[in-house]
């Protein structure tokens, strides 16, 4: 599956904006990303395995919060990170 990575997390993916990952749930895809790019999961998921509040995950066009959301290889995952500042 194609996964779009936000700029703040691209330091983990060697600056790649789009990577490939596998899994049958959003959480499994994130785990596969962490296998390929160690440390990226901690930036996206908290200690209770919940998607962090400042992270937004989309499966195709639909925003999801539950890591157990089912996905298929033809889906596209987009990860967005809220930025703050003034």
Q: Do 37 and 51 touch, CB atoms closer than 8 A?
A: no
Asked whether residue 26 is domain-assigned, the answer is: yes
Asked whether residue 61 is domain-assigned, the answer is: yes
Q: What pLDDT does 53 receive?
A: 93
Q: Do 12 and 39 touch, CB atoms closer than 8 A?
A: yes
Q: What pLDDT does 60 receive?
A: 98
Asked whether residue 86 is domain-assigned, the answer is: no
Number of domains the chain is built from:
1
Q: What 3-state DSSP class applies to 34?
A: helix
User: What does DSSP say about strands 2-4 and 76-81: parallel, antiparallel, or unpaired?
Assistant: parallel
Q: What pLDDT does 85 receive?
A: 53
pLDDT in tens, 7-36: 999 999 999 999 999 999 999 999 999 999
The residues with which 35 forms a beta bridge, in sequence order, are none
Q: What is the mean pLDDT of the chain?
A: 95
CATH number at residue 23: 3.10.20.30
Look up residue 66 and give its DSSP letter: -
Question: 32 lies in which domain range?
Answer: 2-81
Q: What pLDDT does 80 receive?
A: 96
Mean pLDDT of all residues in 25-53 = 97
Asked whether residue 48 is domain-assigned, the answer is: yes
pTM as predicted: 0.93
């Amino acid at each position: 599956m194609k996964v779009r990575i936000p700029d703040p997390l691209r330091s983990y993916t060697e600056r790649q904006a789009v990577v490939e990952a596998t899994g049958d749930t959003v959480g499994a895809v994130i785990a596969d990303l962490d296998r390929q790019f160690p440390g990226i999961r901690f930036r996206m998921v908290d200690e209770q395995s919940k998607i962090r509040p400042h992270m937004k995950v989309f499966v195709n066009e639909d925003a999801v919060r539950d890591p157990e959301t089912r996905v298929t290889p033809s889906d596209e995952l987009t990860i967005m990170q809220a930025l703050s500042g003034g």
